Structure 1
Amino acid sequence: MGETIGYARVSTSGQKIETQALRLQEHGCSKVFQETYTGGSTTGRKALLGLLEYVREGDSVVVTKLDRLARSAMDLGQIASTLEDKKVDLVVLDQKIDTSSPAGKLMFNLIGAFAEFERDLIRERVQEGVNKAKEKGVQFGRKAKLTKQQLESLRNDFAEGELSKGQLAEKYGLSRSSVYRLVKSEH
């Protein structure tokens, strides 16, 4: 009988990871790998990579929800493949998945595909909203620091060459790199 190891992840520092960790400990996890990291990719998720390196044959990895482990079917498939190669089972508490059984493996793959589908739908809806807002004239991004008149004045001052770039930056409340960028950009 192997070790039961938990994995807890939240996407933002505003979310609380303690609830997941407590549930995993109550389930019998002797060790819980924890991290705050967006679920879009496994790249850079040190706790997850540490978990995958740590587990041994006969162990079980436990998560509260499947989306805590991965949000794309591709990443989920890679993680599942790694666990399967190491002969490690996966248990997902909320979806009642246990890959030690054929039915659990099937359910795991189905839910992973639906999670990726849902994420793609959300991405499409967000992009539609952004496009509609742009059509209505909504400007995205940071507001320009300079008005058109101030920008014109900056370019004239630069062309005259009487002030250094540092002095121009100070005069207009910009960084030196912004001065370079703005005087070289087209209207």
Structure 2
Amino acid sequence: LTLQTQILRAAGCEIIRAEKASGSGRTGRSELQLLLEFLRPGDTLMVTRVDRLARSIKDLQDIVYALNQQGVTLRATEQPVDTRSAAGKAFLDMLGVFAEFETNLRRERQMEGIAAAKARGVYRGRKPSIDPAVVYRLYTIEKMGATAIARQLGIGRASVYRALENYEQPA
């Protein structure tokens, strides 16, 4: 942290803020929230590296969007990030493209894994949140409607219909 402070002072920063706790996103990072509220149009937010500002590419994109809405530029001392320049904007856009690519790859691998597990008969999805027999009893014996059952059990109506559809009467 002291090295980062020295780098920022050498870059001409007048006000330096540091987050004491590390959070996974913007929530739980009170210093970041305070900083974002403090900045005014025409200000420049200077960081050493963008990974010091954001915990994920999505988080970074959200922060940059909020800064742009406020008329604040973002610059990094150790990376080619300067939202005033075309190159800086392109760098951030490329980060976004790679993040989307990574997300799509992860989703594809997950789907392939699920398909393979289903083919082996070992994947059955998430366990039902409610016992279909309970839903069936309320529907047929208690003569309750789907909305009333959903309210009573704290589930969605779609879950009620799904439970009724998946209910297998005991033999």
TM-score, length basis structure 2: 0.54
Structure 1 residue 100: deviation in Å?
A: 0.3
Contact 1:66 1:112 survives alignment (8 Å) = no
Structure 1 residue 103: deviation in Å?
A: 1.9
Find the partner of 1:76 among 60, 66, 69.
60
**Does 2:57 correspond to 1:93?**
no
Contact 2:13 2:46 survives alignment (8 Å) = yes
Name which structure has the greater RCO, CA cutoff 8 Å, separation 6+: 1
SS in 2 for 1:97: coil
Q: Which runs of 5+ in 1 are unaligned?
A: 1-16, 122-187
Return closer, same or farther for 1:113/1:64 CA change in 2, 3 Å cut-off: farther
What are the residue-to-residue correspondences of 1:33-182 with 2, within 5 Å? 33-111=17-95, 114=98, 117=102
> C-alpha root-mean-square deviation of aligned residues, in Å?
2.5
Question: Partners of 2:5 and 2:38 in 1: how far apart?
Answer: 18
Aligned positions, number: 105
More strand by share: 1
More helix by share: 2
Amino acid at match of 2:91: M
Question: Partners of 1:87 and 1:60 in 2: how far apart?
Answer: 9
Question: Partners of 1:90 and 1:77 in 2: how far apart?
Answer: 12
Contact 1:67 1:115 survives alignment (8 Å) = no
Structure 1 residue 109: deviation in Å?
A: 2.8
Contact 2:57 2:95 survives alignment (8 Å) = no
Q: Deviations over 1:22-75 (max 9, x none)?
A: 111110111011013335211111111111001101110011111001121221
Q: Percent identity?
A: 39
Q: Which runs of 5+ in 2 are unaligned?
A: 107-171
Contact 2:80 2:91 survives alignment (8 Å) = no
Q: Deviations over 1:116-174 (max 9, x none)?
A: 959x99xxxxxxxxxxxxxxxxxxxxxxxxxxxxxxxxxxxxxxxxxxxxxxxxxxxxx
Contact 1:39 1:68 survives alignment (8 Å) = no
TM-score, length basis structure 1: 0.50
Question: Partners of 1:72 and 1:35 in 2: how far apart?
Answer: 16
